[in-house]
Chain A
């Protein structure tokens, strides 16, 4: 299994009454009331130090992503962070996972193709290229993309980027949203024909279909634990089987909040307030923001409402606001505890969901720098050794979704 140390780069010091004082953590919170640029610089540097430390400790990858105008995670350019990480880890076999630069809000989207190619060059071919659709907040509000155009723009940008990486000769692009007389990408990625592509999603059928059609790896991203994920991932594997794909776990990924201490009791003492901070403050988003009208295509909208799934999702978005630390653990929204507790629960999760790519949120909410380093070290020493071998013997040779130079080959390979 490939285990990524993932970081959202949140605001770590929001006021206690944040969620009462402000309507949303996304789009609306006033920067100058809540922080300073100097302190933000400290957060960025802590984040880079934490992820570099995770790479040194033996994680398979370090991961960053893109969001805008928020205190939940403010790396508006994940590639700037990834660039620093690529440089800092050049002596290591750590993949750089950008999950990712969101396509519909970048114009021209060729900028993403160029920057990912740069990252692949700087890192010596260690990039995993996430190509996300992006949230409604980031695209429709922060970037002003009409909601109904977000998906068509995404599909076109995706096709353009893939073609720009693969075509050896310059070509003209006459799209609905993007037109270029001559696409001739400089530089090109080291990985041929292009870096492995991860498509993050929240369980919609159209995204499974899209990922399968292009043979990309699919990552289910939610913070609502493996219990909700089970229903989604069962659907994904059922779909995959119908599409004729073997159930290779590396075709799928999952993100999980995780925190380790010497004992379960010590974990509660150390991490309780950070977990609660994350759900109460970092996920303080008005329900309607997740889906501005038009953000869902008609079929998904109609199916979601008629099947009752939309209502359930709305309930899920409202319910966690009353949860306590114990609820978050019982429902495994967060996996926290002793090394044995965390190991067992993560192994269960990986086997149950059949996911070969595990993105561990090694930093959560208000976690201090030193505590984050402690968490990373505990994970690396006590948990990773038991997770990393999972699926490798059976499927590792068929993992097309990882930088090939980083794959662990059997000792006899090449002999």
Chain B
């Protein structure tokens, strides 16, 4: 398993200090995490077997930098901010892998700066809306209900969502979880549709859309919405996986991603 290196950047005129976790060898990829914050999981380990993975944390969600969220107020800020972050990482034509909220973010970046994105991998991305398949208001769900819409397998859900036994660690986990959802909620709530459908045609990078066949949060019907709007996009479906597909099927998910990026 590759060792994970950790560093803090100072960007956005010294107002945001995101932590970036990196591991692996090979061509660089950037992983943009979902609404609940960054967790380095076996999927990232698997990707890091063939690539150098850089995983920056969303503004406000890095330890000791909770005020970072105060200096990005809207999607325009956010897209310009992430452009600066990619510049800071020194990546030209970066490969972006984004999960859920991170997928929405990756789409916005790829549409705003098509010249900067070499390839795009979208894992159950947010950002579009179908009236016939409304996305549940996940901030309002009790923990057990949230687990049920995020995971297909109750065992995997329990492994990832059971609080630590140590009360102090459990408290810190609760704070980090709630604050990450608060920070990303600024850009997602109340409806995770900020007009991305008008901009997706600008994406020119080769694009892979990956969906868990059993996704209850953003149902698989959304895959076609992305595919039809992004020129040349291809779709892969992962069996026995819900919205947290990369945690439920890390090997299978990493394998379709690696195959796509190799091609």
* Residues of chain A whose beta carbon lies under 8 Å from any beta carbon of chain B: 27, 140-141, 144-149, 176, 286-289, 292-296, 298, 301-302, 305-306
Task: Report yes or no: B185 in contact with A293, Cβ–Cβ below 8 A.
Answer: yes
Which of B38-46, B96-104, B137-145, B255-263 forms part of the interface with chain A?
B137-145
Residues from chain A with Cβ under 8 Å of B93 in the complex: none
B191 neighbours in A (Cβ, 8 Å): 144
Nearest Cβ on chain B to A3's Cβ, whole angstroms: 37
CB-based contact B186/A148 at 8 Å:
yes
User: Which one of A148, A298, A301 contacts B185 once the chains associate, using CB atoms below 8 Å?
Assistant: A148
Given A140-B189, A305-B171, answer yes or no on A292-B140 (Cβ-Cβ < 8 Å).
yes
B182 touches A148 (CB 8 A): yes
Taking A147-B139, A294-B139 as known contacts, 19 extra A-B pairs with beta carbons closer than 8 A to each other, sorted by chain A number, are A140-B189, A140-B190, A144-B189, A146-B190, A148-B69, A148-B186, A286-B142, A292-B139, A292-B140, A292-B185, A293-B139, A293-B181, A294-B181, A294-B182, A298-B67, A298-B179, A301-B178, A305-B172, A306-B171
| A151: min CB distance to chain B, Å | 11
Chain B residue numbers with a CB within 8 Å of A146 are 185-186, 189-190
Chain B, interface size category, equals: 20 to 34
Minimum CB distance partner of B183 in chain A: A148
When A148-B69, A288-B140 are in contact, do A305 and B181 touch as well, CB less than 8 Å? no
A294-B185 in contact (CB<8A): yes
B13 cross-chain contacts in A, Cβ below 8 A: none
For A148, list chain B residues within 8 Å (CB).
69, 182-183, 185-186
26 pairs from A and B in contact (CB 8 Å cutoff): A141-B137, A141-B140, A141-B190, A144-B190, A144-B191, A146-B185, A146-B190, A147-B182, A147-B185, A148-B185, A149-B186, A288-B140, A288-B143, A292-B140, A293-B177, A293-B180, A293-B185, A294-B178, A294-B181, A294-B182, A294-B183, A294-B189, A296-B178, A298-B67, A301-B179, A302-B175
* Chain B residues, CB < 8 A from A141: 137, 140, 190
Q: Are B185 and A305 in contact (CB under 8 A)?
A: no
- B165 contacts partner chain A, Cβ-Cβ < 8 Å: no
Shortest C-beta distance, A137 to chain B (Å), equals 9
Is B66 an interface residue when CB atoms closer than 8 A count as contact?
A: yes
**Most chain B CB neighbours (cut-off 10 Å) among A148, A149, A301, A306:** A148
Report chain A residues within 8 Å CB of B141: 288
7 nearest A-B residue pairs (beta carbon): A294-B182, A293-B181, A144-B190, A298-B66, A293-B178, A146-B189, A293-B182
A27: nearest chain-B partner, CB-CB: B140
| Nearest-CB residue, chain A, relative to B73 | A176
Interface residues of B in 162-208 (CB under 8 A from A): 171-172, 174-175, 177-183, 185-186, 189-191
**Mask: chain B, 41-80; 1 = CB below 8 Å from A; 0 = not:** 0000000000000000000000000110100010000000
> Closest CB of chain A to B220's CB: distance in Å?
26
Known: A140-B189, A144-B190, A149-B186. A301 touches B175 (CB 8 A): yes
Q: CA separation between A280 and B179, bound complex, in Å?
A: 31
Q: How far is the CA of A148 from the CA of B66 in the complex (A)?
A: 12
Which chain B residues numbered 121 to 162 have a C-beta less than 8 Å away from chain A? 137, 139-143
Of the candidates B73, B179, B181, the one having the most CB atoms from chain A within 10 angstroms of its own CB is B179
- Interface core residue of B139, B143, B180 (most chain A CB under 10 Å): B139
Q: How far is the CA of A170 from the CA of B197 in the complex (A)?
A: 41
Closest to B141 in A: A288
A305 in contact with B186 given A288-B141, A292-B139, A293-B179 (CB within 8 Å): no
Q: Are A305 and B175 within 8 A (Cβ)?
A: yes
Rounded to whole angstroms, the CA-CA distance of A298 and B172 in the bound complex is 12
| Set of chain B residues within 8 Å of A306, measured between Cβ atoms | 171, 175
